[in-house]
Amino acid sequence: MQNFVFHNKTKVYFGKGQIENLADEISRFGKKALLVYGGGSIKRIGLYDDVIKQLEKAKMTVYELGGVEPNPRHTTVNKGAALCKKEGIDVLLAVGGGSTIDATKAIAAAAKYDGDDCWDLITHKASVKETLPFLSVLTLAATGSEMDGGCVISNIETNEKFGYFAPDNNPDVSFLDPTYTYSVSAYQTASGSADIMSHIFDVAYFSMQDQMDMLKRIQEEVLKTVIKYAPKAIEKPDDYEARANLMWASSWALNDFLYDGLSQSTVCHAMEHELSAFYDITHGHGLAILTPRWLSYVLNEQTAPCIKRFGVNVMGVDENLPLMDGAKTAIKKLEEFFYETLGLKSKLSDLGIDDKNFSVMAKKACRAKGVLKGFTDLTPLDVEAIYRMCL
């Protein structure tokens, strides 16, 4: 077990109608706000109007940056940062899913950077020294961006997508009202649920390192929560209990609480970010395709106990099965959950992806060190083999 520091600065308002507190919260940070949102879903569900009412109540001068793309682009971040500099923006407000919140995080940092290209910060050519304050109103349960310091930005010209983490880059305040997720499609609900599960799998659950038992058991409970409520939310999109459980699971899966300082590559995320960098696919769907194949690929005598434990404690696998059979049954049940229960397509070829770029993607996924250090270490040849298992 490792030593660790837990610090999460995000203040969360959770539940119906909590948006009423936005005016008071945002006015603490100044008078000029940049409202950032995606392709229009917030207008269709009436949330844009709720937010504008609050900003008027707070007597803010409001600027807007709409049209943030899923897999947000660095060019959009640059546009937002330039607007902040030109208008002297005091505070940012992200209203949307992970892409909108991530773009806002990057704008918060780029607005305080002397250069004019945020890609310098994302690629660590320059370091983040200061950020603008920002708040978020979450509309999709998936990434955990509403309560973490990470953001993931894409450079579509170079087929690159990089995660960038700054511990102080959490939202200052986040509003989590599950009713704003009633309109999320079955597809995005399924993909977001796969993403929540993958954060637990990737950051800590599937690991050869020692972990605090309490955390391991809570990870299993959060996984079971997603398995219980994602199908309910798909079946009945306005099921408040289901949406609330998914939303809070999203935040806690990646806000550092579940991890006791262990350190490993987030292997499936590294592999998936190449898929979305090259093919602009939905992040959670890519993870749902990769994860069971990755587990099958790394299954051996050393990894089997952890995979079988997942099967028994989370997926209802019979604990009396022999080790290897138990682990294989766990993987099969995870596949059934993603592809049958949640209805996600199971193959990369279903998304129009062939093996043309696998070799270069595999090398990029392993980065400069040439190896992903995780549950088992993976070289580019291993990663390429896993991509092929997904075809």
Nearer to ligand NZQ, 284 or 292 (CB): 284
184 or 312: whose CB is closer to ligand NZQ? Answer: 184
Q: Per CB under 6 A, does 248 bind ligand NZQ?
A: no
Q: How far apart are CA 314 and CA 270, in angstroms?
A: 25
From the list 19-27, 34-42, 344-352, 381-389, the region that binds ligand NZQ by CB under 6 A is 34-42
For ligand NZQ, give the closer residue by CB, 183 or 325. 183
**How far lies 250's CA from each of 147, 239, 323, 375, in Å?**
9, 17, 31, 23
Position 71 contacts ligand NZQ (CB under 6 A): yes
Nearest approach, Cβ of residue 338 and ligand NZQ (Å): 15
Q: Which of 362, 386, 366 shows the shortest CA–CA distance to 374?
A: 366
Q: How far is the CB of 287 from Zn ion (least distance, A)?
A: 6
* Helical spans, DSSP H, in the chain: 22-27, 41-44, 47-57, 74-87, 98-110, 119-122, 186-200, 213-235, 240-253, 267-279, 283-298, 304-314, 323-335, 358-365, 380-389
The single residue among 171, 178, 192, 311 that binds ligand NZQ, judged by CB under 6 A, is 192
Is position 84 an interface residue for ligand NZQ (rule: CB under 6 A)? Answer: no
Q: Which stretch binds ligand NZQ (CB under 6 A): 32-40, 80-88, 239-247, 323-331?
A: 32-40
By CB under 6 A, residue 155 contacts ligand NZQ: no
- What is the size of the binding site for ligand NZQ (CB under 6 A)? 34
- CA-CA distance, 298 to 295, in Å (whole number)? 5
Q: How far apart are CA 197 and CA 219, in angstroms?
A: 9
Of Zn ion, ligand NZQ, none, which one does residue 188 interact with (CB within 5 to 8 Å by kind)?
ligand NZQ
Nearer to ligand NZQ, 71 or 78 (CB): 71
Under 8 Å between Cβ of 362 and 384: yes
Cα separation, 173 vs 11, in Å, equals 5
Contact residues for 200 (Cβ-Cβ < 8 A; gap 6+): 219, 222, 223, 253, 258
x-or-dash string of contact with ligand NZQ, 268-297, rule CB under 6 A: -x-------------xx-------------
- Among residues 188, 232, 25, 197, which one has the least CA distance to residue 96? 188
What is the C-alpha to C-alpha distance for residues 306 and 288, in angstroms, rounded to an integer? 19
Site for Zn ion in 182-201 (CB under 5 A): 195
Nearest residue (CB) to ligand NZQ, 196 versus 299: 196
Residues 228-257 that bind Zn ion (CB under 5 A): none
Give the one residue of 108, 142, 268, 362 binding ligand NZQ; rule: CB under 6 A.
Answer: 142
**Three-class DSSP category at 22:** helix
* Tokens at 171, concatenated: 């939202």
Specify which residues 174 forms β-bridges with. 12, 136
Per CB under 5 A, 148 contacts Zn ion: no
CA distance 169 to 112: 13
Which listed option, Zn ion, ligand NZQ, none, makes contact with residue 286 (CB within 5 to 8 Å by class)?
Answer: none
Q: How far is the CB of 144 from ligand NZQ (least distance, A)?
A: 5
**Which region among 40-48, 210-218, 226-234, 348-356 touches ligand NZQ (by CB under 6 A)?**
40-48
Q: Does 251 bind ligand NZQ (CB under 6 A)?
A: no
Site residues for ligand NZQ per CB under 6 A? 38-41, 45, 70-71, 96-100, 102, 139-140, 142-145, 148, 150-152, 180-181, 183-184, 188, 192, 195, 254, 269, 283-284
Site residues for Zn ion per CB under 5 A? 195
